[in-house]
A = this chain, B = another copy of it.
Amino acid sequence: LKIAILGLGLIGGSIGSAARKQTDAQVSGYDIHDSVAQQALELGVIDQRSSEIATAVRGAQAVFIATPVSAITSTAKLALAAADADCVLSDVGSTKRGVVGAIADQRFVGGHPLAGAESSGVAHARPELFQGACWYLTPTSNTSGVLYERLHRLLVSIGAQPAAIDAVAHDRLMACVSHLPHVFANLLVSQAAGALGQDGHLPATGPSFRDATRVAGANSSIWTDIYLSNRDALSEGIRDAVEQLQQVRAMLASSDAEAITSWNEEAHTNRMALLDGGTQGDTLHELRAAVPNRPGVIAEIALALGHGGVNIVDMALSPSEDNSQGVVALWVRGDRDAKRAEDWIRALSFPVSRV
């Protein structure tokens, strides 16, 4: 297996490091700064370095684009032009609608590992970065099933938990669970600074303020890109937030204790549901589904399960001799999730059985 990594920061470096340690892959690396590629080579996170994108991807079966968000689309286009016909390409950007919309190639699958937010640079790269980490993949109806399966297995082999999600839903989710909390954090520190005055110091309040503002003023060199690349979904999130705030203000203005209580109780219910959704059983189940071998089938199944929150622990596609159909094996943890996965696959009209 040959893997190419374009962009050797914390994420790119850690993919290389993990692939070298946990698979038999040969890893070639490229970075826009030759000195960074050289450092990556010296740190042993890649096997060889190229000073051209085309050279790095030639002969690779998998390519990861791990540049800053603003450079992903252009880098992906150069890589696709040079990559082999059966090479899968993916990126690691934290927003997906833009890149997935710009690239209509069945070899490309958008990706986003939820890891590595705490530091940056190849010097911090480490093979265990993705251990147990959710790694979103955003296949489309155009995505090659064979290539998607290869990418999925590769991610599992470096410890990640791939989960398929629609690119638009992904960005909306990220706006809500990450980008909007960052906006709120910035807003709260600005308001607190105003309320406290120039010499004011923060009182030792309960944990709510410190918790809510820990990410205030996060690294601009990353976050300006993130805000802009997800500006549509984030704008929608902000519009919704403004609406909700106006509703709270109206409840306060009319001193409507009942409405405030029921709004607060609903938040309690939502929080419990969000926490509870994460619990999973222990038994690993193997499901097998017979599928026609056409683009989009694997994506369809992965999306259905990803949407329902079922984690595909592992996946294997076995095409028939004539390549017209195949069997996809899926491993799912927990009785409840296995049952749901079975139901959903059946609802997609594919024969499925539990092994």
Contacts and interface: CB of A to CB of B under 8 A. Distances in A.
A227 B260 contact: yes
A346 interface: no
Interface in A176-205: 176-178, 180-193, 195-197, 199-205
Chain A at the B interface: mostly helix, strand, loop or mixed? Answer: helix
B252 A192 contact: no
A272 to B, nearest CB: 8
Nearest to A268: B217
A213 B255 CA distance: 24
Contacts of A264: 186, 217-218, 220, 223-224
Copies in the complex: 2
Interface in A271-305: 271-275, 277-278
A206 B178 contact: yes
A102 interface: no
Given A220-B265, A267-B217, A274-B202, A242 B246 contact: yes
B270 A193 contact: yes
A170 to B, nearest CB: 10
Contact of A176 (B188, B223, B278): B188
A82 interface: no
B202 A178 contact: no
B257 A224 contact: yes
B267 A216 contact: yes
Contact of A277 (B202, B255, B266, B277): B202
Contacts of A163: 203
Contacts of A242: 242, 245-246
Contacts of A223: 264
Nearest to A269: B217
B192 A177 contact: yes
B270 A201 contact: no
Contacts of A326: none
Contact of A187 (B202, B227, B245, B269): B245
B205 A114 contact: yes
Contact of A234 (B177, B204, B252, B270): B252
Contacts of A177: 188, 192, 195, 202-203, 205, 208-209
A81 interface: no
Contact of A228 (B190, B257, B267, B275): B257
Interface string A332-344: 0000000010000
Contacts of A278: 201-202, 204
A260 B228 contact: yes
Contact of A184 (B206, B212, B218): B212
B274 A255 contact: no
Contacts of A183: 245, 248
Contacts of A272: 217
A172 B169 CA distance: 37
Contacts of A199: 277, 307-309, 340
A354 interface: no
5 contacts: A190-B267, A193-B270, A211-B214, A213-B274, A217-B269
Interface of A: 114, 117, 132-134, 136, 163, 169, 172-174, 176-178, 180-193, 195-197, 199-209, 211-218, 220, 223-224, 227-228, 231, 234-235, 237-242, 244-246, 248-249, 252-253, 255, 257, 260-261, 263-275, 277-278, 307-309, 340
